[in-house]
Structure 1
């Protein structure tokens, strides 16, 4: 069952599912609780690929470290510019604690999608918690502006009819308790 605004607010209040929580705001690019979801805000830090890397370099998802120089880090209190045909990582301003009987899916906001910005986020599994790392691809030949502290994506929550046997927390998932933008990592 997909959760409604009333059910989402109840989980936010009773289980601190999303923090900080703000009511729906429709100025700028909207954020907060919507009819059947929650629009999260973009934080003030992003990772961008270094365009000057060797064209023969291969990114290995089993062995990427921030210090390797694949990404450069930018911080802003206003906005970021995602260059044409590029990829960037950001994160939500909100911290999520997904209950053990809930699965969250993240989808892009139509305002950005209509500009050619593609958002990919894997599901937030039952029992997962942390700041969500967001993956952005600019599919256009034009730079796209991303606004800090405004809605950047929407999470839709599905509640299972029963508890799952093993949560993300139970299996000691490698992306548990993310605080910063998190690059691919091997299981520790």
Structure 2
């Protein structure tokens, strides 16, 4: 079943599923974040890694990422993503997924309607950490992404616990903090 606000609140406040947890929507003058009727709008922190074309002979290889191809930025307000480019960010919130809950993360329409595509893989049962957020600027213009504001909606699905959770299989992205690059 898809979890409604009151069940998300209980899991967040009594079982540490989301920390820090914002109980209700913050909307005035920001890209909204916090608890909604059937999800939670997570925020992006002011830490980013931006791909740069200035590294010669560098190829983006998910099996062996060349960290020289990325520049680290810390911002207070926003980051400008170059045209047709890509950045990595991380959630402010730390998620600790229960063994019977899976979360699907979808980009917010405010960004999607501006040509900014947000991608996040599912948060599996038993996984915990900061969410690494992939953000693409699909436009031919620089695009702003606002730090400390909403970036994506997390929808929680509850079912029977799997035989083997992410924690049980000792997943490679378990307990990630900050922006986590690809691992093999």
2:45 — aligned with what? 43
Q: Secondary structure at 1:8's aligned position in 2?
A: helix
Q: Residue 116 in 1 paired to residue 144 in 2?
A: no
Q: Residue 3 in 1 paired to residue 32 in 2?
A: no
- Pairs aligned (count): 182
- Give the alignment's TM-score, normalised by structure 1: 0.94
2:166 — aligned with what? 168
For 1:47 and 1:108, the matched residues in 2 are separated by 18
Which consecutive unaligned segments of at least 5 residues does structure 1 have? none
Runs of 4+ residues over 6 Å off in structure 1: none
Q: Secondary structure at 1:7's aligned position in 2?
A: helix
Which consecutive unaligned segments of at least 5 residues does structure 2 have? none
Deviation at 1:58, TM superposition (A): 2.2
Give the RMSD, CA atoms, in angstroms.
1.0
For 1:82 and 1:167, the matched residues in 2 are separated by 35
Q: Secondary structure at 2:14's aligned position in 1?
A: helix
Deviation at 1:65, TM superposition (A): 4.9
For 2:111 and 2:61, the matched residues in 1 are separated by 29
Deviation at 1:60, TM superposition (A): 1.6
Q: Secondary structure at 1:152's aligned position in 2?
A: strand
2:14 — aligned with what? 14
Structure 2 counterpart of 1:53, from 52, 55, 65? 55
2:105 — aligned with what? 106
Cα displacement string for residues 57-102 of structure 1 (whole angstroms, at most 9, x for unaligned residues): 3222111253xx0100000011111111001000000000000000
Deviation at 1:163, TM superposition (A): 1.4
